[in-house]
Amino acid sequence: MINLNTRLQAVASLISDNSYIIDVGCDHALLSIYLVQTKKNIKVIASDINDNPLEIARENIKKYKLEKKIQVLKQDGIKNLDKAVDTIVISGMGGILISKILSDRQDLKNIKKIIVSPNNDFPIVRKTLMKLGFTIKDEKIILDRGKAYLVLKSVPGKKNYHDYFFGTLSNKSLETIYYYTNLLNTNTNILKSMPKKYILKRLKLKFQNKKIKKFLLTSPK
Ligand SMILES: C[S@@+](CC[C@H](N)C(=O)[O-])C[C@H]1O[C@@H](n2cnc3c(N)ncnc32)[C@H](O)[C@@H]1O
């Protein structure tokens, strides 16, 4: 079986048997390969916008003799989508790009599950999912090789919270504390070097830092 890092294993753990998945921005296709090897009765499309990753994806798929089980597709986001696809996975991209990919496609009525793992700008992703008629069912922070990653699972449904910054991550687990402490440090460093003229961007980061400090200082639930 293919060796998958902890972050992608966490993404895979949110995908069910009996699904038809598109792995958008598949890059090396390691996640697609792992899914076919570990889930029952699934179909997978490994898609990417760029030729180089797709070439590597094809090589990896061939190495594991899965050419018949994984369809490789070159396309931008999910502009073309087989109507039978019911699960969208987008991981390892910026939150703004993930939101754009999802919003560019108006018709998501056949989609039963969207799993995303944004590298940044996660409040925008939460907001976009809700705007598109999805509710966030599960979210977790994964620690992988010293870095913290957010993974979200959403299903069709009504908006379930208003705080796009924390979502349902109000529990002060070790992972959550690590994630938000890192973000606080990153924001603080960005603010140090960001020219004063970027008033709105600076305000946004300061607002985030205020929320994180409050979260870190309040006693555990
Ligand atoms: C950093 S890799 C992430 C790979 C993998 N999904 C993961 O989580 O490790 C991002 C991939 O997204 C692809 N990509 C960027 N924009 C895209 C778009 N609009 N549509 C499809 N793929 C895109 C890139 O070519 C790249 O292979």
Read off the pLDDT of residues 22-44 as tens digits, 9 standing for 90 and up.
999 999 999 999 999 999 999 99
pLDDT digits (tens, 9 = 90+) for 135-171: 999 999 999 998 999 999 999 998 877 788 888 776 7
Beta bridge partners of 147: 144
Beta bridge partners of 81: none
Q: Which residue's alpha carbon is at the smallest distance from atom 1 of ligand 1?
A: 92
- Strand-by-strand arrangement of the 147-156 sheet: 70-74, 43-48, 20-24, 87-93, 113-118, 147-156, 134-144
* 164 alpha carbon, distance to own chain's centre: 15
Q: How remote is the CA of residue 73 from the centroid of ligand 1, in Å? A: 13
Which fold would CATH assign to domain 6-156?
Rossmann fold (3.40.50)
CB of 120 closer than 8 Å to CB of 160: no
**For a pocket test of ligand 1, which of 60, 88, 93, 149 has the largest count of ligand atoms closer than 8 A to its C-beta?**
93
pTM (two decimals): 0.93
* 81 alpha carbon, distance to own chain's centre: 19
**For a pocket test of ligand 1, which of 15, 24, 27 has the largest count of ligand atoms closer than 8 A to its C-beta?**
27
pLDDT digits (tens, 9 = 90+) for 108-126: 999 999 999 999 999 999 9
Domains of the chain by residue range: 6-156, 174-217
**Angle at CA 19, nearest 5°, toward 2 and 148?**
55
* Dist. CA 184–CA 187, nearest whole Å: 5
> Which stretch of DSSP H or E encloses residue 143?
strand 134-144
CB of 46 closer than 8 Å to CB of 26: yes
